Each structure stands twice: as C-alpha cells, then as structure tokens.
Structure 1
Amino acid sequence: MRLTILGSGSPEAYARRASSGYLLEAGDDVILFDCGGGVFDNLVRTGRKPSDVTHLFFTHLHSDHMMDYARLVHAAWDEGGAPLRVFGPPPIARITEQYFGAEGVLSHDLRARTRFLPSQEVWKARGGTLPRPWPAPEVTEIRPGFVFEGDGWRLTSCEVPHAQPHLVCMGFRVDRDGASFVYSGDAGACDALTSICTGADLLLHWCYRLDGEQAHPAMIPLTPAPSEIGRMAEAAGVKRLVLTHFRVHMDGDGIHDKVLADLDTVFSGPAEIAEDLKTITISGV
C-alpha cells in the first residue's frame, strides 16, 4: 500500500498545510480518508484526477475533514467518472442530498450544466451522451464497528472520543497483503483505538497539543500529546508512527525536533511529522 498526505493541518488557514485528507492506494483502489479544505488541490498536484478516487471514508463530519467533499464529487462527475463510493457517519446522506439533490445548494448549477443547450453541446463534444444525469455518489452511512471488504483489502473501524454527542467519530484500519495502516481520525486516548492499532505497520495519529502545552481541562483527555501517543503506539506494537493535524504554532523553530525527541524516549520505532504531498510506502515485515 502507498499513503500520500494530501492535508496534514487543522481548521486554521495555513499555506503549509491543507486540512485533513489522506490518500491510500491499495491495489487498483484509490481510497481517500477525509476531504478537508485544500485537499482537492493537493490531489490534483499529485497528478491524479478527481475521478481516480474510488472510495471516500469520513472519520467524522467536522468541516476541516469534509470541506472539499462537494468539490471532489462535482469535479469527478464533470470528468465523466464512475460514482464515488462514500462512507461516513450520519448525516452524510442528508448532506449529500443537500449538495446535489433537486433542491440542493448546487441544483442551479446542475440544471444549467445539464439543460442549457450550449452546455449540452460542450458535454457531447467531450464524449458525453444525453440526457446527462446529475452527480450521484453512492453513499453508505456507517457507525463504529463497520467492516468493509474491498478488492484484496479489508477495512475495520472503531469509535474514538472527540466531539460526542454532537458527532459520530471513528478511527479506521486497513489490512492488505500482510500490511496494515491505521488512521486515528481526531481521537482521544481509548482502548478501542489501541486495539485496532495492534501490530500496525503504520499509525497516522492526529496531534493537536504539544507536551507541556496548556489546555482547558475538558480538552486534555481528547488531545493526547506526542509522548502519550508514542506510549500508546509502543504498547500496541506499532512499527512506524506519523503525527499529523499540526497547527500553525506547532511548526515553530525547534518544535519538531522536540516532538521527535519526546517520541524517541517512549517509542522504539521510526517516527515523523506528516507534511503535505509526502508519500509513504506501507509494507508488512
């Protein structure tokens, strides 16, 4: 499997980091985990087309994990791509309808593109046929414990503490050919996530708070610091750890070196900080 970081940042506007988005290639499938702001542009920067994405899994529905969803679906549709398979917690079906339904926010655009004669001629000149259907992603609403069998790969999931009860929040694991990848989503420490991390070849874990950084008491259990993440990864037998979801101040002078030094004291495997457009090969040992 191969992982490409399309967005390693937070909701903060930041030239260095788009919001959350991670592309995993597993055989012929191209799987996108989350689709926050800036992820679409970074997808295109990798040389891929929007219609190359075959599956989209949402960990949860905070805006910084889904702001580019409509853009991805619309662009893939405009290329004539197959309907995107979308999996996410409720209310992703209602959100999709509110974008692309008959009374959705994009309905004026879609009527113009499919009914206006010059637009129809442009579509035909690109190889399309009439009548032109509207975008119709295949949406499946999921909850923690969901399992999906792909073409040679298997996805499992668990609940992670983050924004309950307002949002359903999940972490995912993908296994293929003896290799394993875990994406925490935005997760506080919990036994369920530790369990699905067991023996993982790569753990991609969000990191919203530095060791020693002050935070409201309600935030602390929901935002593990690097050393806490490292201890969990070590206990679970994770082989490689990548921290992501970095905020602007976390890229300050010397901070990365300190984060990696803190991890080195508690985690025995290689560890790094995610950067947009970096590619990582995931293979079993």
Structure 2
Amino acid sequence: MKLTILGSGSPEAYARRASTGYLLEIGDDKILFDCGGGVFDNLVRSGRLPSDITHLFFTHLHTDHMMDYARLVHAAWDEGAPPLKVWGPAPIARQTELLFGRDGVLSPDLIARTELAPSQQVWVARGGSLPRAWPAPDVTEVKPGFTVEGDGWVLNSCEVPHAQPAFDCMAFSVVSRGKKFVYSGDAGICPKLSALQRDADLLIHWCYRLSIDSVHPAIAEFSPTPAEIAKAAQAARVKRLLITHFRIHMDSAEGHASANAELAEHFKGPAGIVEDLEVYAI
C-alpha cells in the first residue's frame, strides 16, 4: 500500500495545507478518503488524473471533507471515466442528486456540455460518443460498521464521536497483504476506534488542537491532544503514528515542537506531523 497526503489541513483557508484528503493505492485501485477543498489540485500536482480514482470513501460530510467532491466527479466525467464508486453516510445520495441531477445546481453547465452542438463536437473529437450521458456517481449510503471487500483489500469502519447527531462520523481501516492502515477521520478517542486501530502498521489521526492551546470544554472533549493520541496509539500497539488536520496557528515552530515532544514522550515508534504531498509506504 502507498499513502499520499493530498490534504492535511482544516476548514481554514491556508496555502500550506489543503483541507482533508488521503490517497491509498493498492494494485490498480486508487482509493480516496475524503475530498476537501484543495484536494483536487493536490491530486493533479501529485501526478494523477481525476479519472484515476476508483473508490471514494467519506468519513463524514463536513465541507472540509467533501468540498471538492463535485469537482472530482465532474472532471473525471469529462475525461470519460466510468462512474465513480462512492461510499458515505446520509445524505450523500441526496447531495449528489442536488449536484448532478436534472434539476441540480450543475444542470445548466451539463445541459450546455451535452446538448449544444459545439460542445458535442469537442466531446466527439476527444473520442466520445453521442448522446452524452450526465455524471452519475455510483453512490452507496452506509452506516458505521460497514465493510467493503476490494481486489486484495478489505475496508472496515467504526463510529467515532465528532459531529453527531448532525450526521454519522466514521473511521476506516484497510487491510491488504498482512498490512493495516487506519484513518481516524475527525475523531475523539473512543473504544471503537481503539479496537479498529489495534496493531495498525500506520495510523493517521486528526489533531485539531495542541496541549498548549486554551479551548472550550466542548472542543476538548472530542479533539484529543498529541499526547492523548500518542497514548491511545501506544496502547493499541500501533507501529507508526502520523498526526494531521493541523490548523494555521498550530504550524508555528512552537506548535510543532510541542506536538513532536508529546509524540516522542508517549509513543515508542516512528511518529510525526504530515505535510501535503508526502508519500508513505505501508
């Protein structure tokens, strides 16, 4: 397995970090976890095409995890890709229909691209055929605990505390050829996540605050510090730990020093803070 960081930031507009997105490659499958703002551009910067993505899994539906969804689907469609396979919590099916349906917000664009003669001829010149179908992602709405079996890999999931009851929030694990990757999504530490990440070869865990930050108790409850994340990973026998979802104020020299010191103190394996476009072998 190969992991590429396509977005390691937060909802904040930030040149250094796109919002959330992670690409996991297993054989011919290119699996995208979340698709926040800026992830599309980093996908292209990484040398891939939108049409390369074979699977898309959403942990939850905060916009910083799915703002580039429409752009990804539209661009892959314009490249002639087959319908993208998408899994996510409700209401992802309705959101998709509101984007790409006959009365969706993108319908004026899609009418123009599929019905106007100049656009039709551009499409035909690129190897397409008429009539041109509209984008139609293959969407499966799921609940925490769902499983998907791919070509040489198995994805499992669990519920994690974050934005309930507004929508379901999940973490994912992927096992392939004896190796295990876990992505926490946006998650407070909980027994289900501890079980899911047990013996992971690589855990990527969101970190929305530092121990040196002063935050409201409502934020602290579901936003663990680097020390808390490291302790939970160590208890679960995780082999390598990466923290992500860094906010702008956390990217100071002081913030990195604080986070890295806590990781080193409480986690015995390799650990660190990810950056956009980094690549990790699992």
Q: Same fold (TM over 0.5)?
A: yes
Unaligned stretches of 5+ in structure 1? none
- The question of 1:130 aligning with 2:130 is answered yes
Alpha-carbon distance in structure 1 between the residues aligned to 2:147 and 2:254? 41
Query: Which residue of 2 is the match for residue 85 of structure 1?
Result: 85
Q: SS state of the match for residue 31, structure 1?
A: strand
CA contact (8 A) 1:159 1:193 kept: yes
Unaligned stretches of 5+ in structure 2? none
Query: Which residue of 2 is the match for residue 238 of structure 1?
Result: 238
Alignment of 1:109-258 (within 5 A): 109-258=109-258
Q: SS state of the match for residue 192, structure 1?
A: helix
CA contact (8 A) 1:195 1:236 kept: yes
Alpha-carbon distance in structure 2 between the residues aligned to 1:212 and 1:72? 37
| TM-score (ref. length: structure 2) | 0.99
Deviations 1:168-194 (A, max 9, x none): 100000000011100000000100000
Alpha-carbon distance in structure 1 between the residues aligned to 2:142 and 2:73? 19
* Alignment size in residue pairs: 282
Alpha-carbon distance in structure 1 between the residues aligned to 2:254 and 2:43? 29
Query: Which residue of 2 is the match for residue 56 of structure 1?
Result: 56
CA contact (8 A) 1:160 1:190 kept: yes
Alpha-carbon distance in structure 2 between the residues aligned to 1:194 and 1:116? 54
More displaced 10-residue stretch of structure 1: 255-264 or 28-37: 255-264
CA contact (8 A) 1:189 1:221 kept: no
Query: Which residue of 2 is the match for residue 264 of structure 1?
Result: 264
Q: Percent identity?
A: 67
| TM-score (ref. length: structure 1) | 0.98
Query: Which residue of 1 is the match for residue 30 of structure 2?
Result: 30
* TM-superposed deviation, 1:32: 0.2
What is the root-mean-square deviation of aligned Cα atoms in Å?
Answer: 0.6
Alpha-carbon distance in structure 2 between the residues aligned to 1:136 and 1:240? 38
Alpha-carbon distance in structure 1 between the residues aligned to 2:216 and 2:92? 30
Alpha-carbon distance in structure 2 between the residues aligned to 1:220 and 1:108? 44
Which residue identity lines up with residue 255 of structure 1 in the other structure? G
Which residue identity lines up with residue 44 of structure 2 in the other structure? V
Query: Which residue of 1 is the match for residue 6 of structure 2?
Result: 6
CA contact (8 A) 2:210 2:258 kept: no
Alpha-carbon distance in structure 1 between the residues aligned to 2:189 and 2:139? 29
Q: SS state of the match for residue 218, structure 2?
A: coil
* TM-superposed deviation, 1:258: 2.1
Poorly superposed stretches of 4+, deviation over 4 Å: none
